[in-house]
Chains A and B, each alone.
Chain A
Amino acid sequence: MAIKLRYFAWVRERVGKPDEEIELPAGIATIGELMTWLAGRGEEYAYAFENPKIIRAAIDRSHVKPQAAIAGAREIAFFPPMTGG
């Protein structure tokens, strides 16, 4: 299953790209598991996801928690806590 990943703010800077398409590996069912898998993809990912507890996620543009299931997701975004307003 192909999924579009998007990164924002310092997560984007650390990963080194704003978005990418990935093939979701078997056995990755939740946002938390996806973050752990991403952290193992190389130095830049390890740096971006070194503290997954502070990273927020959205599935198809809605906020989700780390335990959220990713089945059926088309777009998953990772970003720091928001600082707008």
Chain B
Amino acid sequence: MAAIITVKVQREPFDVSAETAALTRGSTAVGAVVTFTGICRGDENGEPIAALTLEHYPGMAEAEIEGHVAEAAQRWPLIGATVIHRFGRLVPGEDIMMVATASSHRAAAFAAADFLMDYLKTRAPFWKQVEKASGDTGREKIWVEAKADDDAAAARWAKPGRSDQAAE
């Protein structure tokens, strides 16, 4: 049976418990659910921040995430997967995004969630800008730089002979 896939890109907050419940409702085949929630921290590189603004590429963001979820469902025996990513201005403590994967056993659920997070960080068209909490000249805004660690994390999932999937 094909996995039940839900992908949402939205400004509004989401409810992890409700999304997780929706993922497993009506199925007695699910034996494992892994959820990951990315949360806006109160600091960036040790400096306090007032807010985080996420810019995204409408249309491509959804398509890119859907493509990766479909690939995860091909690589692991998933019963369902949900990815929600927010955009707009978020303050520390707010949820940024979530991934939930459901499978019969935990190994597939963990692996698929890990794979999805690594790919979303390097391939989903979102950009974070931090608004510093302090500063003499008003609130300085700085674009977050991509981390080499994230590229390395995504590269470990690339299949031999499919260099198009590797992070550049």
Contact = CB atoms under 8 A, between A and B. Distances in A.
Interface of A: 6, 8-10, 12, 56, 58, 61-63, 65, 77, 79-85
A8 B125 contact: yes
A85 B121 contact: yes
29 contacts: A9-B55, A9-B127, A56-B168, A58-B57, A58-B60, A61-B57, A61-B60, A62-B60, A62-B63, A63-B123, A65-B168, A80-B146, A81-B146, A82-B121, A82-B122, A82-B123, A82-B125, A82-B126, A82-B127, A83-B126, A83-B128, A83-B143, A83-B144, A84-B54, A84-B121, A85-B38, A85-B97, A85-B124, A85-B150
A6 to B, nearest CB: 7
B123 to A, nearest CB: 7
Contacts of B97: 84-85
Chain B interface secondary structure, helix, strand, loop or mixed? mixed
A61 B56 CA distance: 12
A8 B120 contact: no
B157 to A, nearest CB: 14
A83 B127 contact: yes
B57 A8 contact: yes
Interface in B14-71: 38, 54-57, 59-60, 63-64
B15 to A, nearest CB: 19
Interface of B: 38, 54-57, 59-60, 63-64, 85, 96-97, 117, 120-129, 143-146, 150, 168
A58 B64 CA distance: 11
Contacts of B117: 85
Given A9-B129, A58-B57, 19 more contacts: A6-B57, A8-B55, A9-B55, A9-B127, A9-B143, A61-B57, A62-B60, A62-B63, A65-B168, A79-B125, A79-B127, A80-B127, A82-B123, A83-B128, A84-B56, A84-B121, A85-B85, A85-B96, A85-B97
